[in-house]
Amino acid sequence: MRIVFLGPPGSGKGTQAQRLQEELEIAHLSTGEMLRDADHAGTPLGREAARHMQAGQLVPDEVVVGVVADRLSEKDCERGCLFDGFPRTVPQAEALDKMLAERKIPLNLVLALDVPTERLVDRLLARGRMDDNRETIHERFRQYDRLTEPLLDYYRRRGILCMIDGEGTPDEVFSRIRRAVDTAIR
């Protein structure tokens, strides 16, 4: 099973992907986490990524695609994986298609979390991560609208997009996701 989690900043991608990973026992690939780990490790890639992340901008496609390609080659991805925060641009989606086609594995489902913007801002300000301040949040939403939202149509055309109401408690959202996954598996 290969599943992509799409959604604006704060929509619950990480929270829900973590839960689904535990249930399906497949790998969880969060590009945000991978880039933050590289930053904490002080690698050149991490330092470059941090500059973009602190400004609320996307890290260049070729950097992120390289990180995902390396991770996909690891053993635990053979059973399946959840892509959390990747792809975020049409070129990234095309690169993912290519990587999966080379491995002769399909992308089964794209779960798009839908939450009103004002709720998202409250969630992010309450969390207070390094990039959760008003100015950076505003830029992250701008990047989402401009570069990531077109992916909804990209995957809708492929017939694998499932919109999920992301409001309510994490448990409520998870039961909607579980139903969507069960339907896709059947």
Q: Which residues bind ligand AP5 (CB under 6 A)?
A: 7, 9-15, 31-32, 35, 52-53, 56-59, 64, 85-86, 88, 92, 123-124, 127, 140, 169-170, 173
**Which one, 169 or 182, has the nearer CB to ligand AP5?**
169
**Which one, 57 or 133, has the nearer CB to ligand AP5?**
57
**Which one, 57 or 108, has the nearer CB to ligand AP5?**
57
Q: How far is the CB of 89 from ligand AP5 (least distance, A)?
A: 7
**Which one, 86 or 155, has the nearer CB to ligand AP5?**
86
Q: How far is the CB of 149 from ligand AP5 (least distance, A)?
A: 13
Q: How far is the CB of 83 from ligand AP5 (least distance, A)?
A: 9
Rounded (5°) CA angle 17-35-24: 20
Q: How far is the CB of 15 from ligand AP5 (least distance, A)?
A: 3
